[in-house]
């Protein structure tokens, strides 16, 4: 069956360091991937997306890498700040489908 999963449930990072959050997916038909950030008590907030015809995309302090060979997705956050503390979800949305399939999430905590 299709699934989008994460390698680690929690990640602790020193403030100022870079964070790398990983995600694996199993459906070869997936062609659109999204990273969402969810802070406590709030809804998911769009961070960045990438389509399957790309292997890298950069935003402000964030980079998403896509490796279709091993079905792996990662989110890199540069110079992690306290405000980056949240749960991060990778998600899949196929162009032919409507629903987003979410992974279980990685909780990112920042050490001062």
Partner 1 sequence: NAGVMQNPRHLVRRRGQEARLRCSPMKGHSHVYWYRQLPEEGLKFMVYLQKENIIDESGMPKERFSAEFPKEGPSILRIQQVVRGDSAAYFCASSPGTGGDIQYFGAGTRLSVL
Interaction of residue 100 with partner 1, rule CB under 8 A: yes
d(CA 90, CA 48) in angstroms, rounded, equals 10
Judged by CB under 8 A, which of 13, 103, 108, 110 binds partner 1?
A: 103
How many Å is the maximal CA-CA distance in the chain?
44
Q: Are β-strands 19-25 and 32-38 bridged in parallel, bridged antiparallel, or unpaired? A: unpaired
* Cα–chain center distance at 62: 10
Interaction of residue 40 with partner 1, rule CB under 8 A: no
Judged by CB under 8 A, which of 16, 18, 26, 51 binds partner 1?
A: 51
Applying CB under 8 A, the residues found at the interface with partner 1 are: 31-32, 34, 36, 41-46, 49, 51, 89, 93-105
């Amino acid at each position: 069956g299709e699934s989008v999963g994460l390698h680690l449930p929690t990640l602790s990072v020193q403030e100022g360091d870079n964070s790398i959050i990983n995600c694996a997916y199993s459906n070869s038909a997936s062609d659109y991937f999204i990273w969402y950030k969810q802070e406590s008590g709030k809804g998911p907030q769009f961070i960045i997306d990438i389509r399957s015809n790309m292997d890298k995309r950069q935003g402000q302090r964030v980079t998403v890498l896509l490796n279709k060979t091993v079905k792996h997705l990662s989110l890199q956050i540069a110079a992690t700040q306290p405000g980056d503390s949240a749960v991060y979800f990778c998600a899949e949305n196929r162009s032919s489908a409507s629903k987003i399939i979410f992974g279980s999430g990685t909780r990112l905590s920042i050490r001062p």
